[in-house]
Structure 1
Amino acid sequence: MSPSSKELVKYPFYLIVHPFNGYWELKYERSNKINLVISFVILLLLSLTNILHSQYAGFLVNLYNPKSMNSLMEFVYVLVPVLFWCVANWSLTTLMDGEGKFVEIFNSTCFALIPLVLINFPWIWLSNVIAMEETAFYHFSNSFALIWFVFLLFVGNMTVHQYTPLKTIMTMLLTLVAIGFMAFLCLLFFSLVQQIISFISVIYQEIVMRG
């Protein structure tokens, strides 16, 4: 493995353990093209982790029906929230003197997802050999991964935009509100499109029947 390849593999692990230094390097010392490649790999790995969890996790912790699982939708469930977060965050911080570019927000968000892969992936297999009493460790690990993710997301936002901790927290909360508003608009738009298609379909059937 070449040194550049080793660096690509090692850096994400360095960042999640040393987030302040790691995110500083991510913003000021590393190529956005390389970071984008790693970001998309992380999104792919998280999607694969969710798919494998739905298919192979133990019945004690698996709430999904494997027969109804759609692999394509698992990618959508990962990609859409990330894009919504990035768009909402970028839109807000542009008005709040944030220094982060959209690609930097995207990269910092994707790197924050690493604990969700590292911790949840082994539990896909471990969940098949644990007893009911041991499921507490599974839920604790999931909670720890989520807390780690939120902390990395916080540090990433603070570093990318060069905000104070308080302003970062406020921005993240406003971003969640903006995501809810965006989701509402999307649902409204798709509902409107569906009604228009239904209306056109009814008119077409009427014309055909009368013709």
Structure 2
Amino acid sequence: MTANRYVSSLKYSLYVITHPLDGFWDLTHEKRGSLAAANTIVLLTLLARIMSLQYTSFQFMQVYREGINIFVYIASILFPLVLFCVGNWGLTTLFDGKGKLSQICMGVGYALAPYPLIRFPMIILSNLITVEEGAFYNFALVFMMGWIAVLMICAMMEIHEYSMTKTILFMIASVFAMLVMIFILLLFFSMISQGISYFVSIVKEIMFRM
């Protein structure tokens, strides 16, 4: 991918978030977007979230920084996104969904664009306003999350060519698929842990008898 193509696809996110239906259709069907740009938006989202922990005024966010593991914190954001993409792709593939896994990941990435656009200014603003003026700050964050939710619905609707009702239904189903995958992963790692403990105990027993 050329630098011009990358910059163009990244700038296209501004059109997508203001014209979601046309934007997400062209994003995938007309190949106006790119995974590189989508990944950049996700990274900016992570950066905005991490910086908000460090630099948001204590009046609006009280954080026990010493107890935060940054890698676990990043995983707690990325892991649900990955699970949603995989779960949504798995379900929609069975029910005539038109989207590929790469397109779903791209749509989710572009749908997150309002987060860094709003969160970075809010970090600065939180240090300039008082608690009494905090209603605007809280409204901006609620508006941001609502905007992202609408974009996610529009993204899945245009990518899979579903109706609004069917899109919302499958997004809810995707959340249940995420829970099933988490259960399976926990069960898998539990079995692996027990297997390792079993072999370690055998080795210890052999060494003890020797």
Query: Does 1:99 find its partner at 2:98?
Result: yes
State the Cα distance separating 1:5 from its structure 2 match: 6.0
User: In structure 2, do the counterparts of structure 1 residues 209 and 135 end up closer, same or farther at CA, with 3 Å as the change threshold?
Assistant: farther
Assess, with a 3 A threshold, how the Cα gap between structure 1 residues 6 and 191 changes in structure 2: closer, same or farther: closer
Structure 1: gaps spanning 5 or more residues: none
Instruction: Tell me if the contact between 2:104 and 2:156 (Cα under 8 Å) persists in the aligned partners.
Output: yes
Equivalent-residue separation in structure 2 for 1:24 and 1:157 (angstroms): 10
Q: Which secondary structure does the structure 2 equivalent of 1:99 belong to?
A: coil
2:13 matched to which residue of 1?
12
Q: How far apart are the structure 2 equivalents of 1:62 and 1:202?
A: 47
The Cα shift of 1:197 comes to: 2.4
TM-score (norm 1): 0.89
The residue aligned with 2:194 is: 195
Matched residue type, 1:37: A
- The question of whether the paired residues in 2 share the 8 Å contact of 1:16 and 1:22 is answered with yes
User: How much does 1:88 deviate?
Assistant: 0.5
Moved more, 120-129 or 2-11: 2-11
Q: Deviations over 1:140-184 (max 9, x none)?
A: 222111111110010011100111111111111111111111111
Contact 1:54 1:65 (C-alpha < 8 Å) held by counterparts: no
Question: In the superposition, relative to structure 1, how do residues 159 and 205 fare at CA in structure 2: closer, same or farther (>3 Å)?
Answer: same
Are 1:46 and 1:116, in contact at CA under 8 Å, matched by a contact in 2? yes
1:78: how far off?
A: 2.7
Q: Distance in 2 between matches of 1:155 and 1:41?
A: 20
Whole-angstrom CA distance in 2 between matches of 1:115 and 1:57? 18
Query: Does 2:210 match 1:207?
Result: no
Judge conservation of contact 2:126–2:137 (CA < 8 Å) in 1.
yes
Q: TM-score, normalised by structure 2?
A: 0.89
Count of residues in correspondence between the two structures: 208
Report if aligned partners of 2:6, 2:34 keep a CA contact under 8 Å in 1.
no
Q: CA deviation at 1:6?
A: 5.3
Deviation per residue, 1:95-118 (Å, 9 max, x gap): 111111111111011111111221
Q: Does 1:165 align with 2:169?
A: no
RMSD, matched Cα: 2.0
Q: Unaligned regions of 5+ residues in structure 2, if any?
A: none
Match of 2:69 in 1: 70
Partner SS, residue 64 of structure 1 = coil
Give structure 1 regions of 4+ aligned residues with deviation exceeding 4 angstroms: 2-6
Q: Residue in 2 aligned with 1:22?
A: 23
Q: How far does residue 53 in structure 1 lie from its aligned partner after superposition?
A: 1.4
